[in-house]
Structures are given as structure tokens and as C-alpha cells.
């Protein structure tokens, strides 16, 4: 973040297409829209935008209380799943012109258009507005293709017509990713819609995410993009196999099918407590679901032909995925809700759009809570150089 002197200079220049003042602290949707607008950087300043919380419209001090709770709430807007793709932003408390303020510094996105709940917001001078179809098209053309993560890059040799399921896009993905009001007003072509949702490149080539979410034959392009499920009678891989399956197809189909298998294999004991009958599963489905989805979303799709594996033994379950920790996540901070980095941010966005995630960074904490509530031990993680491995032990 800029220094105090630099921020004071920005503050003293007043509101603009890079600066917003507010004395409100409870309208989180207003903050999300402002972050979205600055991340889109329609004027192409290629400089950060700033939200000063605690400053009135005329630039005077609002004398707000800026505490840690507010700063945590503002920081959480980055990963609460409302703003997609993830904005690059910092939050801090500063004293500027003898006034306590919270500052949100938002960097221009490499992968616009950024949206809040399917709506694209931009900055027009000192005011905020919803982008028109033409403005959204301009944002799409601004993408810095060389800086994009692997899952947002094109799959060379593929085409929309030959390799993507158009029915699935129009009837399943598009209604989930774009608000009904925007769809009703939308007269854009299929190609424009896909490009705006980061599913095709500027020249119309399907992206990695498009193939994984909508591909007719995604294993032709990504041989390891499937889930291998095996259940053994004992605790060794040499023990008899009771059930096994290879779950292929688009990632959404894989997750639905693995959910079904997990539910089928969970054993539930029925206990009588007075007149009540209490069901006690040996594993909580919620924990297994979250850890499996984490494996699919975070795995390495770029240079691995290894599948996500779910191996069910007599007294424990092992889930493994190719790809180690990524970005700011380390072995030491792995699994903490306030430390989040996505190797595949566009896949994560697609999963959020499809309803497989509620917000980002909570999969492992959710699994831990579910295991404790069910009486299971906490999950055991083994972070290796090319693999993330988790063991979940059966309820005693």
C-alpha cells in the first residue's frame, strides 16, 4: 500500500475515477461494487483505485471508529465469493490529515471484467455505474493475456463448436453465472457471452476452464482430469476391492457423482436415546465433500496426468491431489481461513457460479468443524512436493 504521504496526496485531490470517499461502514454491497469498479479500471489508468472509509463527500473527516473488526470485515470482501474473479486489494488503517480512516487499495485486474453477483461495475468520473454491453466488451479486450493463470489460457487446437457442449453452457452454466436481469437485457452472441465469462480467449479459443467445465471430451485434452474412487475391505491397497469407479466428464458432473458415492459408502448407526432415535455416521458427509472439492479445485491441471484419488479403507479415508501448496499458502499456514491462494482462480470462479462453493477459503475449516461435531479426529495433512494428501479417520 502507498505511504501515508502518498495517500494524503491522493485524498487531497478529491473523488475521481480512482478515488471514492464514504462515511458508511455497514453497506458491504456498496464496497463490493466500488472494489469491482476499480478492479475493472475502464479508463485504463493501470494504477490502483482507493476507497477512503471515514471521509465525507466533501473530503472532511467523519470521525468514525476504525477498529480491527471493521478491517477484518473489509479484508474478507476479497474472498466472500461475491466479487469474481478475485480482486487484488489491500486494507489498512491510517491517520491522514489528522483523521482516522480505513483505506482499501484496489489493483487493476489482469482478467476483467470483474463482477459482483454477475453484474459488472465501472467508474465513470467520481460516480459508479453498471457497465453497458459495449463497456463490458472493452473490458474483455483489456485482458493482459500473458499474465493470466494457466486455467484462463487457451487450449491450442480446440474450438467452441467441436469441443464445448453448447447446451450445457446455455442451460446450466450461463443462468448460474449471470444474474437474471442481466440475461434478460442481454443481446450478445454466444461468442461474446463466453468471452465475457473468461471461457474463451480474445480470438475465440476455449480456455482450460471452458474445457474442464463444458468439454465434450475433456480427458482428450487433460488425461488426468478425473476422480478415481476405490474402497478396500481392509487397510491395505492389496486388500479386496469392494467398490471402485473412474468419474469422468465435466467437473460439475464429477463432483455430483463423487457426492453420491460418498453418501452411499458412509455407514450410519442408529442409537436409541429414550424415545429418540439418533443417527451417527462414521464420517460426516460435509467434511468429505469439502475436502474432495478442494482437491478438484486446487489440483495441478497443467502438467500432471495423475487423477484426484479417494481411497476408502476400513478405518480411514485418503484423498490426494497432484499439486502442492501455491502462492502465499505454505505448509505452516495451510488451511487457515484468512490465507487463500488459488492455482486455478477461474475454475474456482466457475465452481462458485455453479453452486459448489459458498465462499472462498472455508473448505478446510468447514471440514474440521464437521469432523469435530461428529466425533472424528481432525484431518491429517501431508504437504509433499508434488502432492497434497489428507487422511480422515473413522469415528471411534
* pLDDT the model gives residue 337: 65
* pLDDT the model gives residue 358: 74
What are 185-233's pLDDT values in tens digits? 767 788 888 988 889 998 899 999 999 999 999 999 999 999 999 999 9
pLDDT score of 326 more than 80:
no
Q: Tell me if residue 347 falls in helix, strand or coil.
A: helix
For cell 486388500, name the residue.
239
Q: Could you tell me if 343 and 361 are in contact, meaning their C-beta atoms sit under 8 angstroms apart?
A: no
More confident site: 365 or 274? 365
* pLDDT the model gives residue 177: 86
Bond before 85 cis per omega within 30 degrees? yes
pLDDT score of 311 more than 90:
yes
When pLDDT is cut at 50, 70 and 90, the band that residue 288 belongs to is very high
Name all domains of the chain by residue range, CATH numbers in brackets.
Answer: 4-130 (3.30.950.30), 148-217 (no CATH), 227-393 (3.30.565.60)
Q: What is the C-alpha to C-alpha distance for residues 391 and 317, in angstroms, rounded to an integer?
A: 6
When pLDDT is cut at 50, 70 and 90, the band that residue 343 belongs to is confident
* pLDDT the model gives residue 146: 62
- In this prediction, residues 114-130 reach a mean pLDDT of 89
Q: Could you tell me if 110 and 143 are in contact, meaning their C-beta atoms sit under 8 angstroms apart?
A: yes
Question: What's the pTM?
Answer: 0.76
Q: What is the C-alpha to C-alpha distance for residues 129 and 109, in angstroms, rounded to an integer?
A: 18
Helix, strand, coil shares, percent, the chain, to 5:
35, 25, 40
Q: What is the C-alpha to C-alpha distance for residues 147 and 169, in angstroms, rounded to an integer?
A: 26
Q: Could you tell me if 387 and 307 are in contact, meaning their C-beta atoms sit under 8 angstroms apart?
A: no
When pLDDT is cut at 50, 70 and 90, the band that residue 339 belongs to is low
Which residues lie closer than 8 Å to 76 by C-beta, 6 or more apart? Answer: none
Amino acid at each position: 500500500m502507498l505511504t501515508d504521504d502518498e495517500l494524503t496526496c491522493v485524498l487531497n485531490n478529491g473523488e475521481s475515477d480512482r478515488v471514492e470517499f464514504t462515511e458508511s461502514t455497514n453497506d458491504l454491497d456498496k464496497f463490493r461494487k466500488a472494489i469491482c469498479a476499480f478492479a475493472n479500471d475502464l479508463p485504463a489508468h493501470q494504477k490502483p483505485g482507493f476507497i477512503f472509509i471515514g471521509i465525507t463527500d466533501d473530503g472532511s473527516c467523519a470521525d468514525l471508529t476504525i477498529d480491527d473488526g471493521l478491517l477484518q470485515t473489509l479484508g474478507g470482501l476479497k474472498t466472500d465469493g461475491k466479487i469474481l474473479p478475485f480482486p487484488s486489494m489491500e486494507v489498512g488503517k491510517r491517520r491522514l490529515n489528522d483523521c482516522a480512516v480505513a483505506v482499501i487499495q484496489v489493483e487493476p485486474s489482469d482478467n476483467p471484467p470483474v463482477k459482483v453477483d454477475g453484474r459488472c461495475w465501472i467508474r465513470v468520473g467520481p460516480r459508479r455505474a453498471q457497465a453497458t454491453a459495449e463497456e463490458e466488451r472493452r473490458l474483455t479486450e483489456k485482458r493482459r493475456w500473458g499474465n493470466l493463470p494457466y486455467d484462463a489460457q487457451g487450449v491450442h487446437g480446440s474450438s467452441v463448436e467441436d469441443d464445448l457442449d453448447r447446451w450445457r453452457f446455455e442451460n446450466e452454466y450461463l443462468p448460474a453465472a449471470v444474474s437474471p436481469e442481466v440475461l434478460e437485457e442481454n443481446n450478445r452472441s454466444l461468442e461474446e457471452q463466453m468471452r465475457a465469462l473468461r471461457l474463451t480467449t480474445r480470438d475465440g479459443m476455449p480456455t482450460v476452464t471452458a474445457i474442464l467445465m463444458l468439454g465434450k471430451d475433456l480427458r482428450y485434452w487433460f488425461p488426468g482430469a478425473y476422480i478415481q474412487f476405490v474402497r478396500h475391505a481392509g487397510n491395505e491397497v492389496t486388500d479386496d476391492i469392494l467398490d471402485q469407479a473412474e468419474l469422468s466428464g465435466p467437473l460439475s458432473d464429477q463432483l455430483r457423482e463423487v457426492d453420491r458415492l460418498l453418501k452411499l459408502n458412509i455407514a450410519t448407526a442408529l442409537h436409541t436415546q429414550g424415545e429418540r432415535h439418533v443417527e451417527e455416521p462414521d464420517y460426516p458427509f460435509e467434511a468429505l465433500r469439502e475436502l474432495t472439492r478442494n482437491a478438484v479445485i486446487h489440483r495441478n491441471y497443467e502438467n500432471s496426468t495423475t487423477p484426484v484419488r479417494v481411497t476408502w479403507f476400513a478405518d480411514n479415508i485418503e484423498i490426494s491431489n497432484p499439486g502442492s501448496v501455491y502462492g502465499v499458502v505454505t505448509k505452516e499456514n495451510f488451511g487457515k481461513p484468512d490465507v487463500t491462494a488459488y492455482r486455478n482462480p477461474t475454475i474456482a470462479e466457475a465452481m462458485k457460479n455453479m453452486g459448489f462453493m459458498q465462499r472462498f477459503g472455508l473448505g478446510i475449516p468447514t471440514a474440521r468443524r464437521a469432523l469435530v461435531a461428529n466425533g472424528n479426529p481432525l484431518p491429517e495433512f501431508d504437504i509433499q512436493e508434488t502432492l497434497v494428501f489428507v487422511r480422515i479417520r473413522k469415528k471411534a
